[in-house]
Amino acid sequence: MKIIVLAGGLSTERDVSLSSSAGICKTLLAKGHDVFLLDVFLGFPYDRDNLEEVFTLPGHGLEIAKSIGTEAPDIESIIAKRGDGYCEGGSVPFLGPNVIELCRMADMTFLGLHGGEGENGKLQATFDLLGIRYTGPDSLGCAIAMDKGLTKQIFLQSGVDTPKGVCIHKNKNKKALSDLGLSLPVVIKPCCGGSSIGVYIVHTEEEYETALKKSFLYEDEVVIEEYIKGREFACGIIDGRALPPIEIIPKSGFFDYANKYQADATEEICPANISDDITKRMQELTLRAYHVLKLNVYSRADFLLDEKGNLYCLEMNTLPGMTEASLLPKEAQAIGIGYGDLCELIIQKSLEARYQ
């Protein structure tokens, strides 16, 4: 197959996306496919009459891949890097040069994007209108799951146990915890963010006010929810089948951006060392969350397990990390699905879900 692996973009998870997509690109090349790694925002300035040869270029676009730092990328510098004159007047087109053309030429566009327009359903809807084949959930499911406030409401109404919380806007007058029906400690996070960027666990009123200001720097809406002290888990799902849960044990703090992507910062155990009953409940909640959010193909749920054995589903990731060392590939490996086979399975199930 001719495959474009679409990466990068303008979200705070840009570097994570480039790392995931480089792994996807390399393993699909090893599987014998013609693959090119493409930055959705920077695009690929190239003679349009010769675009077809892009799929067999020696470097396969892998020169854009980079390691993940301890901090989120500088998005303004990425915008300036394109320098094509399209950014005047505050309007920044998301799709770079030749992106649409190359994705149309491909048999499949593998979405290795994380966060922002790559994961909130807008790109999926655009591709649907243009007849471009892509991997992962449909636009509706992506749009719903990306909004943590909406997700929480749906979970609470659908019997998916989740921490109590509210979504508030930057301009909302009432921000006192007592007015919101919450009390310290709480967790504050951007409504549509990812990779734990802008997430704060606060224990005092002073920390609360500071965390609100910092979190509002990322978005105009934030989620404030009760703090649940417990063990951290993830449970992937592909084609309606829940995978073995994986436990995430940060060596310090919680599973934040640095702990997620720096080597040896976190221990990950799969299958998780939990009872059969808890495993079954986690998988059942994953399936329920997957269906009520209108998802398909594959996703990953994040959980907390408190000391009383209560499970709380925090969110669903519609395009979870896909490096070979990421959570979902490790879960798939636990049932004998290797990394390359998983990438091909995602392509197969995406084709079956929408194009056959």
Delimiting residues of CATH 3.40.50.20 domain(s) in the chain: 2-134
- Tell me how far apart the alpha carbons of residues 335 and 133 are, in angstroms, rounded to a whole number: 28
Residue 25 has pLDDT above 50, yes or no: yes
pLDDT, residue 3, reads: 98
- The predicted-structure confidence for 52-82, as pLDDT tens digits, reads as follows 999 999 999 999 986 656 566 788 888 888 8
Within the chain, strands assigned E span 2-7, 34-39, 108-111, 165-169, 186-190, 200-202, 221-226, 230-238, 241-242, 246-250, 266-269, 298-306, 311-317
pLDDT, residue 175, reads: 76
pLDDT (average), residues 203-232: 90
Main-chain dihedrals φ then ψ at residue 271, nearest 5 degrees: -65, 150
- Tell me how far apart the alpha carbons of residues 110 and 340 are, in angstroms, rounded to a whole number: 13
Delimiting residues of CATH 3.30.1490.20 domain(s) in the chain: 164-226
% of the chain beyond a pLDDT of 90: 69
- Tell me how far apart the alpha carbons of residues 90 and 326 are, in angstroms, rounded to a whole number: 36
pLDDT, residue 315, reads: 94
Say if residue 271 is preceded by a cis peptide, omega within 30 of 0: yes
The band of 89, judged by pLDDT with boundaries at 50, 70 and 90, is low
pLDDT, residue 261, reads: 46
CB-based contacts of 255, cutoff 8 Å, min separation 6 = 196, 232, 248, 266
CB-based contacts of 192, cutoff 8 Å, min separation 6 = 115, 120, 146, 147, 148, 219, 221
Residue 195 has pLDDT above 60, yes or no: no
Residue 353 has pLDDT above 60, yes or no: yes
pLDDT, residue 278, reads: 98
Q: Burial level of 2, CB count in 10 A (0-12/13-18/19+)?
A: middle
Residue 349 has pLDDT above 80, yes or no: yes
- Structural tokens at position 247: 């436990």
- Tell me how far apart the alpha carbons of residues 72 and 78 are, in angstroms, rounded to a whole number: 12
The band of 266, judged by pLDDT with boundaries at 50, 70 and 90, is confident
Delimiting residues of CATH 3.30.470.20 domain(s) in the chain: 230-354
Of residues 142 and 15, more confidence is placed in 142
Topology given in CATH for the domain delimited by 2-134: Rossmann fold (3.40.50)
Report the mean per-residue pLDDT for the chain: 89
Cβ count within 10 A of residue 166? 17
pLDDT, residue 289, reads: 97
- Tell me how far apart the alpha carbons of residues 188 and 202 are, in angstroms, rounded to a whole number: 8
Q: Burial level of 49, CB count in 10 A (0-12/13-18/19+)?
A: exposed
The pairing of beta strand 108-111 with beta strand 2-7? parallel
- Where helices occur in 118-246 by DSSP H, the ranges are 122-130, 139-146, 148-158, 177-180, 205-215
Q: How far is CA 341 from the centre of its chain?
A: 20
What value, to the nearest 5°, has the Cα angle with vertex 109 and ends 347 and 191? Answer: 95
- The predicted-structure confidence for 132-183, as pLDDT tens digits, reads as follows 999 999 999 999 999 998 999 999 999 999 999 998 988 776 678 888 889 9
Give this prediction's pTM: 0.90
pLDDT, residue 205, reads: 92
Overall CATH class of domain 230-354: alpha beta
Topology given in CATH for the domain delimited by 164-226: Dna Ligase; domain 1 (3.30.1490)
Between the ranges 176-180, 212-216, 219-223, 270-274, where is the mean pLDDT highest?
Answer: 270-274
CB contact burial 270-295 (16+ within 10 A = b; e otherwise): bebebeeebbebbbebbbbbbebbbb
CB-based contacts of 242, cutoff 8 Å, min separation 6 = 235, 236, 282, 283, 284, 286, 287
